[in-house]
Copies of this chain bind each other. A is one copy, B any other.
Amino acid sequence: MSALNTDLYQLTMAAGYFAAGKTKDVATFELSVRRLPEQRNFLVAAGLQQAVEYLFDLKFRKDEVDYLRSLPHFENAPAEFFDFLMDLRFTGDLFAVPEGTPIFGNEPICIVRAPLLEAQLVETYLLSTFAFQTMIASKAARCVLAAKGRPIVEFGSRRAHSPGAGVLAGRAAYVAGCAGTSNTEAGMRFEIPVFGTAAHSWTMAFPSEEEAFRALKRLLGESTVFLLDTYDTIEAARLAIQLGPPLWGVRLDSGDLAALSREVRRMLDEAGLREAKIFATNDLNEHRVAELIRCPSCFDAFGVGTALATSSDAPTLSAVYKMVELKRGGETQYTAKFSDEKSTLPGAKQIYRYPDHDVVALYSECNADFQGEPLIRPVISQGEMVTPLPSLEKTQAHAVSSIAALPRELHSLDEAPAYPVEISPRLLEMAQELRDKHQLVRSE
């Protein structure tokens, strides 16, 4: 990761803040998703681990600073600014909802409180990190719900938005309850179970399907999964049966999947291979998975690729990172944006979760005034970890139980009535005060 992986304006603003003597100002920014995509009844927060790693690794290399110096935008920047950049580390605070927590529109996923320059600089990286993994985890949660207990494996690396995104998609899918991923780097880096056996090209690389299947069986033993549709699915099923156990099962990747699964199931059962499983792939998504289960079909597990690794029906989240407080010279000012479509609420916030609704309040309001569970926790304090992040396995368990605890209508794949997110009276009041004050200033 490079400290230059940010929008240029974060760096020009940094130079400007430095020049304006604002290195001691402390800003608070909130990262949230403005509104849920129509196709999502809830989001699942993810990406915190990569955000934390980024904040700890943040450091400019000399060649990066030299590059900036060469740009016309920095012609008037003070020479000391470049030394300042060389020494820059993240020294602020990070608050966040734990990964795997369901969240809703306008609820902060994380809060950054840091010297203005630092807090501003990290915006772009934090946005793409949280928004991408949250988007994938949210899609994965729907696939997992659709499969009603059958495992979903994330298979989408090849269609992810770049090879690096594929690795992170595997992670985010696992956070939300997928059984694992086909991405081997994700498996190693994040200790996620990995899945995969052979492609059509395997079958084509041998003089006959039989030789291909025999070679696979020798290698994989009881992990063997025969891919049946390279030439003719039913003939390949016969061959699989003839070769017999050990065998995990078979995979269907084209044709009328439900009908083929019933036929192949019947053939396997008749041959006494009741333990052999049937795995479905082929451009699946949560709706196809639900449909295949309803059909009925005989699938034991599903591989979901493109639709999951790209969240193809909702491939963006309206994630924003907005300044909510600014402390200069000991005085805290609450900030907000009042333009028509994009207004924001001032002040750092806390989310309180009740069984059937959330309340968003000021972080400074007293916890004891709320019965709900506060979701936002301190993660980094003055550049130091507060508590280590949980293992990914624990995060997944947290996600699965938190999703299960949501009102049942949100589990539907169809659009459910919006989950109620209330704003605390104190927060509403402060927003109004600020708006009045701002209008006062403008009318002067």
Contact = CB atoms under 8 A, between A and B. Distances in A.
A171 to B, nearest CB: 10
Given A132-B160, A205-B22, A316-B306, A198 B12 contact: yes
Contacts of A72: 223
Contacts of A237: none
Interface residues of A, number: 111
Interface in A213-251: 215-216, 218-221, 223, 229-233, 235
Interface in A337-383: 337-342
A6 interface: yes
B220 A73 contact: yes
Interface string A162-201: 1111111100000000000011110110000011111111
A32 B21 CA distance: 54
A105 to B, nearest CB: 16
A326 B205 CA distance: 7
Interface stretch (A120-128, A385-393, A415-423): A120-128
Nearest to A164: B164
Contacts of A230: 337, 339
A254 interface: yes
A430 interface: no
Interface in A36-74: 54, 64, 67-68, 71-73
Max chain B C-beta neighbours (<10 A), residue from A163, A232, A235, A321: A163
Nearest to A160: B128
A77 to B, nearest CB: 7
B158 A7 contact: yes
A322 B120 CA distance: 46
B216 A16 contact: yes
A198 B12 CA distance: 7
Given A9-B196, A160-B128, A205-B25, A16 B168 contact: no
A101 interface: no
Contacts of A194: 8, 71, 73
B124 A166 contact: yes
A163 B125 contact: yes
A22 B216 CA distance: 13
Contact of A161 (B75, B124, B165): B165
A73 B223 contact: yes
Contact of A235 (B27, B155, B442): B442
A20 interface: yes
Given A15-B219, A76-B220, A124-B166, 11 more contacts: A9-B197, A9-B198, A12-B196, A25-B205, A75-B221, A124-B158, A125-B163, A164-B165, A232-B442, A254-B341, A306-B316
Interface of A: 1-2, 4-13, 15-17, 19-20, 22, 25, 27, 29, 54, 64, 67-68, 71-73, 75-77, 116, 120, 123-125, 127-129, 131-133, 135, 155, 157-169, 182-185, 187-188, 194-202, 204-206, 215-216, 218-221, 223, 229-233, 235, 254-255, 306, 310-312, 315-317, 319, 321-323, 326, 335, 337-342, 438, 442
18 contacts: A4-B187, A7-B155, A7-B157, A7-B158, A7-B184, A8-B194, A12-B198, A15-B219, A71-B194, A72-B223, A76-B218, A123-B158, A127-B158, A129-B163, A161-B169, A162-B168, A232-B442, A254-B340
